[in-house]
Amino acid sequence: MVFSFFKKQDKKMPERPAARPRAPAPLPEAKAPVAPVEDQPKSLPEPLPDLEFTPGKPTKPQPAPAARKPDSKGAATPLQPPAADSDFAIDDFDSDDFTESSVMGIDVNHDDDPLQACVEQVVVLYANGQDGAARSLLETFVRSYHGREGRRFWLLLFDLLQATGERAAFEKLGADYAEACEMSPPTWSQQSPAAKQATGAVGPHKIFLQGVLTEEGALPVTELAKLVEQKAQVTVDCTKLIGCDDEVAGQLADLLSRARKGRLAVTLIGTDVFIDRLNCRMVAGDTAHEPSWRLLLELLQRHGTQDAFEERAVDFAVTFELSPPSWEPRVAVAAPAVSAAAERPVDDAHYLSGDLKGCRFDELVAVIEGSEQPILDFSGVRRLDFVSAGQLVNRLAPYKAAGRDIVIRSPNHLVAELMAVVGLNKQARILVPKS
């Protein structure tokens, strides 16, 4: 009866000719494939809702990627501190003073290295000026992490206290560090970054003036103004300076005059060509360029002869109907006193100092292009904010791509770790002082 029932079904439900494929020849019955979807009767029931799936989603739960690679026995391997880049060489520097920064080997990946996530949280807080929150986290982490991992947080905490001038807390932390790590603690630097910035003890800052300076593109002049305000030792390279508008000329004249009268160590080099061009532009009787006249007289006072100065001073007086300025005998300017700890041979490094906030680092173009081995010295830098760190990456990346080797020297650990967070360790070699 059941067999007869199926035969009747075959007659009642004939195959629809329109759904039959044309080309393929029939195969032997024993190997006949399952009929394609088009040949299946249209009256089949819809798939059950719980069997539906969305394309692209796994039908089985997938295990989450492991944060640690298991060993052959299935146990998780303990995290190891990031190793220094094996290609990193410091042959050009005194090995007694510098060491490879561990940030050279860091690839920021929180899933693989939760320790790095903790470090990033601290350095970003510090970069944003949240010193209290950063210190609170560090005090927690030095109790939670031990060994080499813990030492990384100890060094960050020491540098934070040094940067904020908290010597009593620094000394107390040294005793705790010696007990916990069984190592001698770092020593308090008599000259903090803020003091170095004020005295110029970090070495001669360099400012490059080049091209035609206008009010819109006079960032180097702004940097010079900051350094004059800080009474820092500055060298201003004018070798590639072609000209400037009256607005910039007035700013330069005021800055140089203030530095000369205050006997500040502001030295100009390569001014001869610029002085000649400026001298040719200034015509007696033309009152249109009074700021440029003042700049010319300031440059002649510093680098011209007394006769040349007095001749142009008379032209200035006639043009503007003023008493002519007087020649002032040149007085040797002594460089600021440098502590014994900071005394080092002067090199061609470009020194940065203070809190670097919202910096574009336009001046580094001339620094890098003018040196076979560019060295950016961060020993006087107290803080680097996140925006400036990103701008520095953008500034150095093209030179790295072109095969240039750039060294960033002596950042504190907080600044060095932030550099790793933004990927600056892939664009330059980072040297930190030995602790």
Say how far residue 10 (Cα) sits from the centre of its chain. Answer: 79
pLDDT score for 293:
95
Q: How many domains does the chain have?
A: 2
188 plus 249 within the same structural domain: no
Give the CA distances from residue 349 to residues 345, 364, 409, in Å, rounded to whole numbers and listed in that order: 11, 11, 9
195 plus 227 within the same structural domain: no
> Does residue 257 lie within any of the structural domains?
yes
Quote the CA–CA distance of 408 and 354 in Å, as a whole number. 16
SS3 162: helix
Q: Using alpha carbons, select from 171, 160, 165 the residue that is nearest to residue 138.
A: 160
Q: What residues are paired with 206 via a beta bridge?
A: 235
Quote the CA–CA distance of 294 and 297 in Å, as a whole number. 5
Q: How many C-alpha atoms does 177 have within 13 Å on its Cβ side?
A: 24
295 plus 385 within the same structural domain: no
**Of 320, 353, 383, which residue sits at a domain end?**
320
Per-residue pLDDT of the chain in tens (435 residues, 90 and over written 9): 454 444 444 545 555 555 555 555 555 454 444 444 444 444 444 544 444 434 444 444 444 444 444 444 444 444 443 333 333 333 444 445 555 555 555 554 545 577 889 999 999 999 999 999 999 999 999 888 887 778 899 999 999 999 989 999 999 998 888 888 888 888 888 654 444 444 434 455 778 888 888 887 777 888 889 888 888 888 888 988 999 999 999 999 999 999 998 888 888 988 999 999 999 999 999 999 999 999 999 999 999 888 999 999 999 999 999 888 889 887 555 444 444 344 444 567 888 888 888 888 888 888 898 888 999 999 889 999 999 999 999 999 999 999 999 999 999 999 999 999 999 999 999 999 876
pLDDT score for 18:
52
Q: For residues 200 and 230, is the Cβ–Cβ distance under 8 A?
A: yes
Question: ∠ at Cα 135 (129, 140), nearest 5°?
Answer: 145
Q: What residues are paired with 100 via a beta bridge?
A: 431
pLDDT score for 343:
42
pLDDT score for 17:
52
Q: Using alpha carbons, select from 225, 186, 190, 187 the residue that is nearest to residue 205.
A: 225
The answer to whether the Cα torsion of 166, 168, 169, 170 is positive or negative is: positive
148 plus 244 within the same structural domain: no
Domain of 300 in residue numbering reads as: 221-320
Q: Using alpha carbons, select from 258, 213, 231 the residue that is nearest to residue 366.
A: 213
Element of type H or E holding 208: strand 205-208
> Does residue 151 lie within any of the structural domains?
yes
Q: Using alpha carbons, select from 298, 268, 260 the residue that is nearest to residue 206.
A: 268
pLDDT score for 112:
58
pLDDT score for 15:
53
**Of 320, 353, 372, which residue sits at a domain end?**
320
430 plus 371 within the same structural domain: yes
The residue count of the chain comes to 435
165 plus 243 within the same structural domain: no
β-strands 350-356, 266-269 pairing: unpaired
Radius of gyration, alpha carbons of the chain: 36
Q: For residues 317 and 283, is the Cβ–Cβ distance under 8 A?
A: no
89 plus 199 within the same structural domain: yes
**Of 304, 320, 336, which residue sits at a domain end?**
320
Q: How many separate helices (H) and strands (E) can be counted in the chain?
A: 14, 10
Residue 32 carries which side chain, given as an amino acid letter? A
> Does residue 78 lie within any of the structural domains?
no
pLDDT score for 65:
44
pLDDT score for 332:
53
Q: For residues 370 and 181, is the Cβ–Cβ distance under 8 A?
A: no
